[in-house]
Amino acid sequence: MWKSLFGFATAMLASTACIAADLTPTEVRWLNGVWPVVQFAKAAKFPLDIMVQPQPAPGAAPLALAFVDGRCKLVLSMRGNAEAQATLDRIEPGALDATLQLMAAHELGHCRRYLDGAWHGVPAGFVARIPKVLDPALRAALVQMRAERREEGYADLVGLAWTLRHHPQHYAALHQWLVTERSRELIDGSPHDTLVWVRLALHPSALVHESIFEGPTLVWAQALTDNE
């Protein structure tokens, strides 16, 4: 399953120097695919760096985002990581670049939320329902998991908004691809259980907006009262 694990990427960056000089063919393919999103971010003055993990990273998300010292880090963890190629293999060849861009735009959605100071934030007036009978440690874990899930839901919508703006001919197919990925090994209520948001964007008209970030914000807020 394609995953974006923000905390894991941050921990990896903290433990090692992460710029690789010599790229593998898999890394080159991913970078070529996501490059239009990187160019968009640079043009929009995002403080974005690209980091390629030089050490083996089995089980890591192939593409993830970290936020370090006020800068967003797009992290590729592909060496010794079978999921990097497996993800490519699950994508229709004719939609490969568009799909990789969706994934990169998802990460850019995380970056935008961090830069806005909105990470784990919710709209004014929204209060998540948390069972009061839970043990304090379990309660804290549930609060964290739900906050992560909301961020993943928003980022998925940003990925779809990018697709609508740049690859409208692939929107229906990539929406279905995202549903399939989020349904794979699904754990109800887990951070990547974002289907409640993705399904709200079945029709591309839901995300029509001049900004690829503001349209998703409106759709994202619609589901908050329904899924928590």
Per-residue pLDDT of 58-98, as tens digits, reads: 999 999 999 999 999 999 999 999 999 999 999 999 999 99
The domain in which residue 48 lies consists of 6-86
**How many independent structural domains does the chain possess?**
2
Residue with tokens 């399904």: 199
Helices 136-166 & 171-183 angle (0-180, nearest 10): 160
Q: Which two tokens stand for residue 134?
A: 């839970």
Residues of the chain above pLDDT 90, percent: 73
Strands laid side by side in the 71-76 sheet: 48-52, 71-76, 63-68
Give me the chain's average pLDDT, please.
89
Question: Are 117 and 158 found together in one domain?
Answer: yes
pTM of this prediction?
Answer: 0.88
Residue 95: inside a domain:
no
Question: Are 173 and 221 found together in one domain?
Answer: yes
For 17-60, write each residue's pLDDT tens digit. 444 458 999 999 999 999 999 999 999 999 999 999 999 999 99
Going by pLDDT thresholds of 50, 70 and 90, the confidence category of residue 1 is low
Question: Are 149 and 82 found together in one domain?
Answer: no
Helices 82-89 & 25-43 angle (0-180, nearest 10): 80
CA within 13 Å, CB half, 97: 9
Q: What is the pLDDT of residue 204?
A: 96
Residue 219: inside a domain:
yes
161 to 8, 72, 128: CA distances (angstroms): 26, 20, 26
Question: Are 119 and 211 found together in one domain?
Answer: yes
Residue 82: inside a domain:
yes
With beta carbons less than 8 A apart as the criterion, state whether 56 and 81 touch.
Answer: yes
